[in-house]
Structure 1
Amino acid sequence: MSRECGNCPFNQTDCENPLCVTAGGKQRLITTVNYQIPGPAVLVCLNDTVIVNVHNGFETDSTTIHFHGAHQNGSPWMDGVPFITQCPILPGTTYQHKFIAGQAGTHMYHGHSGTHEADGLFGQYIVRKPEDFNKHELYDLDLPEHTMIFWHWFDRPVGEIFALQNFASTGMPPYDILINGKSEKEVYTKDGKNYKTPRAVFEVEQGKRYRFRAIFNSIIYCPVQVSIDNHNLTMIGSDSGEFNPVEVETFIGNAGERYDFVLNANAPIGTYWIRVRGVGNECKSGKINQQAILKYKKSELEVPKQDVPTYDESGRSGKLLNPMDLALTSYPENDVIVFTELESPEPTRNINGTPDVTIYLEFKTYTHSSIRYPQMNNLTFSYPKSPLLTQWNRTDINCSPKLRKYNCVDNFCTCPYTEIMKKGDLVEIVLVALDPFPIGDHPMHLHGNHFQVVAMETVGKNISTQHIRDLNLAGKIPKKLEKVPYKDTISVPSEGYAILRFVADNPGYWFFHCHLSIHAAKGMAVVIKVGEDIVDIPTAPQDIPRCGDFPSLPPYY
């Protein structure tokens, strides 16, 4: 907490000061957008022109911003990935993002350099369709104040923890989950009385139906389970996709995912716990849980009558959407619904037929110099020295496993791993996760496109990429190809596989990576290149910044 927080938490009113960031009450260095966590909401309508001026106020760090869920059709240099689509924004300089909001849905923006997003550089980016504002058959109100952002949080700057994990093997034990930048984690004592920073509160009016939007992210594997006391949740969409309504008691979101649900405020007037807990191995063993409050207008209670729920009390029986860790985790009190069981209410893009390109990506951890690296196809992604998009003629992307042109030390190999396809290709990507639990279900996020998950299964310890390849080639993997909801982030089951399809109609260089920040930082990524330079891929503006090596100077004497 900063000086803007005044006498918080002893004076709770001070905790709501305009520039006060409580973030659970721990005093530590943080990263903010306009002095806020979360940063200011970017709320637009479909096909609006979005203009965001990003000024880097860091003294030494470069940075970038990614609008997670925006495809950047025709403006790939606005995607915000350093050394892939742009040069990093240097300290003291400004980069203007200008693009068309072409994908309706619940999205976010976040830092895409270093660990900035894990330290607070994030916010909501919501794109509404015209019908979202009209009276909807499923809900009455879709309000900005009903966006929930669940963000894993540490008690120290993440760069420090990450460095110690790599070089001192100290681990990254989980700490807390922020809900819209708030939590009741730290305890302050004054005059024998305990005080905490306030929780997030969501207000509703009895008799109304509300659309809620939930956004998730984490640097480590810590999927978040959510439920609301005395209320069921009608799930209606995820990322930029919609699906037929499914009523559940609880659901789980992994890093990078977003889920929309309708809450029917039909309970007695009062206040109710919103129960939140981490369900990944480390968050489960560390019993990481948090709460927010659902408050009905006219309620005389600020806090629910029930005691603050413990970790074990933060689960809920009944239907559960999007379970994690099915390789070794059972849900005896739940009727689980996996994402592939959901169906779009409207016909989706035609993805039938034989794919033009099929890519197999094998996930496996490799240990080098005592550091564990989650890899794809035995490669660790390393960034080029100039952006692939804007300075393609200065970079070498010939480092796919077939070409064997990458840097290796023993069997540890790094390169700007790139898979290439033609514009218009029907693409199938088969993701095979070999690592056993507790590595967890990798949340894979694709920039520049959404995809459809046509098959997904947990196999078990005997899984092999060759076996999945053989089954796929023989047509023995059942695939759902009609009315498949769109996604841009999917959790690939540990000891299992997921098969994605999409039409490569958005030319550019698109990052495809695990959205656990620690895995992305360690190189669990690949670039999907769609189309040919100059011919298909849009040419960046002439005045866009350039960067790269300056290896030598001509002799002057």
Structure 2
Amino acid sequence: MENFAYRLRLINAIAAECPVVYSIDAHHVTAIATDGNPVKPVTAEHILLYPGERMDVVVRASQPAGGYWARVRGYGGACAGLSARAMLLYSGFNYTAMLVDEKKADYSFEMDPSSAIHGHGLESLNEEADYGVETIKSVYLGVDRTNDLKDEPNDFRYMSDAMPKKPFFPAPIALRSDGVVQINGKSFLYPNAPLLLYPKEVRSETICAVGEEDERRDPQCVQVLNAERNDVIELALVNEGFGSNDTYTFHMHGSSVQIVATWQNPARTPLSKADFLKLTNENNVVSKSANPPLKDTIVVPNKGFTIIRMRLSQPGAWMLECRSCSLYSLPTAVVVNVPQTLPKSVLDSLPKCGNYRPPDVLLH
């Protein structure tokens, strides 16, 4: 109805790495939350959403009574030709007129990215950047696509307890002509037992500590970042860009994180770990000193980086995974492990059916 305001909850539910732009003809939208966390209101004509991102927006029916197209269009790369439409109808308007004039509608799309609202650029209402602590543990996570893995001398077959009569089956790592996305040069291996409940049952030879991956020859391992409760950690997700020109979207399970910095190399040249450390040591990284947005979906631009910060207030095994990196390949993830001791009575009460299967056996 005219002059009423409506709250819309938008989500990019596309599984592939496909950002989309949302807009409503002749209307502005005001962002009030990102990934479920409230932000300072910002008004614009376009909303930019990467896979898994959510944004709450308010739309006021302030235009003359009629019908208006709400548009969703793919943005950049292979997604540029994608589009979908819906109708925003004022009370009493006959929508058939829009269908008659549909062929006259202009579906061409040109947009300055800086004019669109994106979650990384918003400000939270009351969160401080430093969590009030002096010590922050910084961790480098280099993300890139590699295609130079050979069958020799490594065995790329994937071990799995889920197949007792056939202990190996071919892994996609040797079959992908365009390579696989890895973190610090490793692909993720789902543990043979639940890491949170039975950490001692996880095969030690499959585990590699984040930052010490070079100590393991295997291309896959259970990448674990060990921490203590109430630690504040800062993860530098660096999309190095030597092997691809893709942007990657990560999801943090279990909690939201602060987006304290996002940067993309204006020269569009690859970014090494040495390059990143030089930028940070020379104070060329502009961080949000106050009110960084809280999100659980993190966009890491190609040949650039995003720095996230989080307080580990709850024990558990929290996965940070690239949702679209491994649709047709091996998983790309790390587990942030905050140990806890569960009472034996709790462990004994859990089902003992013995049919646990690693998730990748079911999903891939």
Task: Give the AA of the match of 2:301.
Answer: P
Asked if 1:273 is matched to 2:69, the reply is yes
* Contact 2:186 2:213 survives alignment (8 Å): no
Matched-pair contact (CA < 8 Å) for 1:224–1:278:
yes
Out of 294, 297, 312, the residue aligned to residue 91 of structure 2 is: 297
Identity %: 27
Give the Å deviation of 1:282. Answer: 1.1
Task: Report how far residue 315 of structure 1 moved.
Answer: 2.9
Given the alignment, which residue of 314, 325, 330 partners 1:522?
330
Write the distance in 2 (CA, Å) between the matches of 1:299 and 1:437.
Answer: 52
Say whether the 8 Å CA contact 2:48–2:118 is kept in structure 1: no
In the alignment, which of 508, 511, 534 is matched to residue 319 of structure 2? 511
Q: What are the equivalent positions in structure 2 for 1:402-421 lying under 5 Å apart?
A: 402=212, 404=214, 406=216, 408=218, 413-421=219-227
1:398 corresponds to 2:207: yes
Out of 163, 185, 191, the position equivalent to 1:378 is 185
Tell me, in whole angstroms, the C-alpha distance in 1 between the residues paired with 2:75 and 2:102: 21
Is 1:487 the counterpart of 2:295? The answer is yes
Q: May I ask how many residue pairs the two structures share in their alignment?
A: 323
Contact 1:250 1:316 in 2 (8 A): no
Give the alignment's TM-score, normalised by structure 2.
0.79
Alpha-carbon offset, residue 473 of structure 1: 4.3
Structure number with higher relative contact order (C-alpha < 8 Å, ≥ 6 residues apart): 2
Aligned equivalent of 1:357 = 137
- Alignment partner of 1:207 is 2:3: yes
The alpha carbon displacement at 1:303 in A equals 5.8
Q: Please tell me the root mean square deviation across aligned C-alpha atoms, in Å.
A: 2.9
CA gap 1:277/1:518 in 2 versus in 1, 3 angstroms: farther
| Inter-CA distance 232–438: structure 2 relative to 1 (3 Å threshold) | farther
Following superposition, the deviation at residue 443 of structure 1 comes to: 0.9
Q: 1:16-165 to 2 correspondence within 5 Å?
A: none
Aligned counterpart for 2:12 among listed residues 192, 197, 216: 216
Runs (5+) with no aligned partner, structure 2: 150-173, 358-364
Cα distance, 1:539–1:403 mapped onto 2, change above 3 Å? farther
Q: Which residue matches 1:150?
A: none
Counterpart among 236, 242, 246 of residue 42 in structure 2 = 246
Name the aligned partner's letter for residue 25 of structure 2: D
TM-score (norm 1): 0.53
Aligned residue number for residue 165 of structure 2:
none
- Cα offset, 1:439, TM superposition: 3.8
Say whether the 8 Å CA contact 1:218–1:516 is kept in structure 2.
no
- Paired with 2:270 and 2:56, the residues of 1 have a C-alpha distance of 36
Alignment correspondent of 1:445 = 251
Q: Distance in 2 between matches of 1:232 and 1:390?
A: 49
What is the one-letter code of the residue matched to 2:73?
Answer: R
Q: What one-letter code is carried by the residue in structure 2 that aligns with 1:457? A: W
For residue 374 of structure 1, report the CA deviation from its aligned partner.
0.6
State the shift of 1:406 in Å: 4.5
- Which of 236, 255, 258 is residue 54 of structure 2 equivalent to? 258
